Structure 1
């Protein structure tokens, strides 16, 4: 932990920071002295007093208490707090000086500015976000730079992301989970209709406010539905995304995917909301990608026996291994979810209240220090003290600041499958909806546009410990190769190796004993 300064150092840093007008600050110090009845001596007590007056925030005070007085301003914005740090950027809460409006500012570390690929990706994300205008997608306002610091400004959305919500509450209420998934599907229908594929749908990228409304975040990996040269140049890696929510085809080649990859990830996110864990919570990064390719997840009912069969069927359909067996566009997924909600007497946009955690920028310094100590600095509910001048250090160790430890990291890895001739081609993007999506009558939650090829919901629900339709997954052409990775084929070749398989050894031993018995019998008979 950084060494804290005394009362003189704190007041000096506060005066030099320009966070509060000199006259206002002088009056506040005098009022604090009069209220305490003694000379100024306790820097933390004064800091909390100023926080209560809303002259400064807890995050600002944490920096001031270490003697720092710079790093609070970025262009026309005053930084109020740290919202999160990822692999490529850090997000701050800020207030625009002229309008007083709260904004979220995403900042690229200075260390990355000299790397053309990082700067281009940062600009790509800002441009992709600015293209979209939908109530369930976070808005971007401007892209700018202050000296060597590049940033872009977004709307600030108060709330908790789904990963935090589940971490705090456990598996969500069925209607709440379906509502979040439905609103996300509606946002995806708009994004896909606008020609963008998100490619990183996951709980940490879905923000839920106190009215249970969703905001889709982070278009850092978004690509045009037409595989253009610019996208190929920006994202040269074969596989990108988050391993726990990665579709089978995206785990083979992230450049040759279509809108259905987002639907698979949405299904994994719905599974997470229903069960409290990803579909494949164990194994290395490669092993988890392999499981998405070949293994069926554990049945939701093994963890939530009361989960409605119809909702499980929707989740299952979203997560079908073959893209052609999923919903074919986000509109279909929205319709299925809204039908199920309507059958329960609940609407996708029906008024709802959620009690969320207290925003960190409203907390006191002492509480923040305690929370940081308890969480070991890994909980995104706690502001870390991050200086813009030190962002490159934070980026180097970004995994410690992610929202759900190692299980929710975006990954950039080499392909798990060699390049082969593809038999699978992306489908064109869904047309942009031209009218609001009205609630649909309560019918079968599965859309009639592309019926499942498996058995009925009732029959499919027979096996209690595995998902319906589990079993050997046949070879299917996906992406730039087929669905079996190098690792899977190696395992298949080794599955019956006569030098290592126990069945061969057992048969050999039995054969030897039988032969020995025959020989002994012949010898005994001869004598």
Structure 2
């Protein structure tokens, strides 16, 4: 690795001009003019522009490191990198003219050289374009610029469930049921459109600050019963994530029920904090998914409703025909579980920024270079519809509980009335047919009344 040379202030200004950002933002241009005379070096100028929110930290680092080529991509200005997808990186971006904030999934040219990769990207774009549901991340556009293929998605501040589990630990049964129900609603819609996700897992479920869940990353999605699609999976290649993969998916025998199995593994993970099978090697995990009995949630904790344990067990059945056959069946089963009140996870605050000087030198700003950065914000713009869908589901649960309470009360009233009727009959019989000497015994027992 070569030695990094800090740029001079003149170099920084030249790179900023080259990036094209000045032409798009008059406020940025004015700030540069005002600050360039005040700041002695490039680092100071970059720091001040970031503090005034004229540049993002990512943009400042890209200019500082002379990596400005992809700060603008087509109609979009890249603001910061927010994570990795199945085939590329995901960036928060802004439309140049409309000002709309979106998420851009970028796939570099080196990953698109094969015909299989190009067809997979086209498949992902088609699948995403078909889906418009509150519990699924929407796609707006797709294209190719500067040898980079990109997919434009809606954006939201949120946290994926994998990150949430890492920070918080396992969830309460109520939280897990809430999130799995929302995911099932989204998958129900996708399956109705003939789209199978094939990679359901906590990392592909984004939770907003309001508790709405969105399924993201259709990178492995496929159309159900589409001829000519099987060649996109090479011999020996397995599509999916090992800890959540359905047994039949190992042999590339895929229908909508693979999503049911993966969602069951996800439910298990949310409630227990552990993946179902913890074997050390990939092969042993695959064999466990295929052959080993599914572990029970009750083996990990004893405060989970027995019905939820059975639901998870059925979702993770080895044979597809032994699982819930549709997401609607699963939703109905989940809604029968009593829940006193919705529990919404409070998401953690963003950690404080590192020192900007170190950031400018060390931040990775290459586009399409492998990164281990975890996604904290992926795609969603409108939250109200998602939250409404969740509220409607919870209201149905509460309504079912209220109806059950009335049935219970009615039963108690009926029992009381029956007892009173029996007592009345007995009293009537005793009153009309007294036994000999009964009155004398009663009077003797009562004693002499007070005068």
TM bucket normalised to smaller? 0.7 to 0.9
Aligned twin of 2:57 = 58
Aligned twin of 1:261 = 258
Distance in 1 between residues matched to 2:59 and 2:246, nearest whole Å: 41
Are 2:315 and 1:318 aligned?
A: yes
Shift in alpha-carbon separation, 1:148–1:298, aligned structure 2, 3 A? same
* Aligned match for 1:303, one of 300, 304, 312: 300
> Once the 2 structures are TM-superposed, how far is the Cα of residue 33 of structure 1 from its aligned partner?
7.3
The superposition leaves residues 239-269 of structure 1 with CA deviations (integer Å, 9 ceiling, x where unpaired) of 3211100111112x22x22211111100101
Are 2:346 and 1:344 aligned?
A: no
> Once the 2 structures are TM-superposed, how far is the Cα of residue 114 of structure 1 from its aligned partner?
2.4
Shift in alpha-carbon separation, 1:125–1:276, aligned structure 2, 3 A? same
Are 2:13 and 1:11 aligned?
A: yes
Distance in 2 between residues matched to 1:402 and 1:236, nearest whole Å: 28
> Once the 2 structures are TM-superposed, how far is the Cα of residue 16 of structure 1 from its aligned partner?
2.7
Shift in alpha-carbon separation, 1:118–1:33, aligned structure 2, 3 A? closer
**What is the total number of aligned residue pairs between the two structures?**
380
> Once the 2 structures are TM-superposed, how far is the Cα of residue 369 of structure 1 from its aligned partner?
5.5
Distance in 2 between residues matched to 1:221 and 1:26, nearest whole Å: 42
Are 2:364 and 1:385 aligned?
A: yes
Aligned twin of 1:28 = 31
Shift in alpha-carbon separation, 1:240–1:270, aligned structure 2, 3 A? same
Shift in alpha-carbon separation, 1:259–1:346, aligned structure 2, 3 A? farther
Aligned twin of 2:120 = 121
Distance in 2 between residues matched to 1:225 and 1:67, nearest whole Å: 46
2:108, 2:147 within 8 Å by CA — same for their partners in 1?
Answer: no
> Once the 2 structures are TM-superposed, how far is the Cα of residue 298 of structure 1 from its aligned partner?
4.3
> Once the 2 structures are TM-superposed, how far is the Cα of residue 31 of structure 1 from its aligned partner?
5.3
Aligned twin of 2:332 = 335
The superposition leaves residues 74-101 of structure 1 with CA deviations (integer Å, 9 ceiling, x where unpaired) of 1100011112224522211110011100
* Residues 69-108 of structure 1 mapped to structure 2, 5 A cutoff: 69-108=68-107
2:190, 2:196 within 8 Å by CA — same for their partners in 1?
Answer: yes
Distance in 1 between residues matched to 2:174 and 2:364, nearest whole Å: 38
CA RMSD of aligned residues (A): 3.0
Aligned twin of 1:355 = 347
Distance in 1 between residues matched to 2:80 and 2:99, nearest whole Å: 15
Distance in 1 between residues matched to 2:357 and 2:240, nearest whole Å: 32
Extract unaligned runs of 5+ from structure 1. 374-383, 405-435, 444-527
The superposition leaves residues 409-464 of structure 1 with CA deviations (integer Å, 9 ceiling, x where unpaired) of xxxxxxxxxxxxxxxxxxxxxxxxxxx87725547xxxxxxxxxxxxxxxxxxxxx
Query: Which secondary structure does the structure 1 equivalent of 2:239 belong to?
Result: strand
Shift in alpha-carbon separation, 1:365–1:4, aligned structure 2, 3 A? farther
1:47, 1:365 within 8 Å by CA — same for their partners in 2?
Answer: no
Shift in alpha-carbon separation, 1:86–1:153, aligned structure 2, 3 A? closer
> Once the 2 structures are TM-superposed, how far is the Cα of residue 186 of structure 1 from its aligned partner?
0.7
Distance in 2 between residues matched to 1:122 and 1:6, nearest whole Å: 38
Q: Based on CA coordinates, which of the two structures has the bigger radius of gyration?
A: 2
Shift in alpha-carbon separation, 1:82–1:291, aligned structure 2, 3 A? same
Distance in 1 between residues matched to 2:260 and 2:293, nearest whole Å: 17
2:159, 2:375 within 8 Å by CA — same for their partners in 1?
Answer: no
Distance in 1 between residues matched to 2:48 and 2:127, nearest whole Å: 42
Extract unaligned runs of 5+ from structure 2. 377-391, 402-451
Please give the TM-score of this superposition, normalised by the length of structure 2. Answer: 0.76
The superposition leaves residues 312-349 of structure 1 with CA deviations (integer Å, 9 ceiling, x where unpaired) of 22222211222222111111111222222xx21346xx
Aligned twin of 1:366 = 355
Query: Which secondary structure does the structure 1 equivalent of 2:119 belong to?
Result: helix
Please give the TM-score of this superposition, normalised by the length of structure 1. Answer: 0.66
2:311, 2:333 within 8 Å by CA — same for their partners in 1?
Answer: yes
* Residues 92-491 of structure 1 mapped to structure 2, 5 A cutoff: 92-226=91-225, 228-237=226-235, 239-251=238-250, 253-254=251-252, 256-340=253-337, 343-346=338-341, 352=344, 354-358=346-350, 364=353, 366=355, 385-388=364-367, 391=368, 394=369, 397=370, 400=372, 439-440=396-397, 442=400
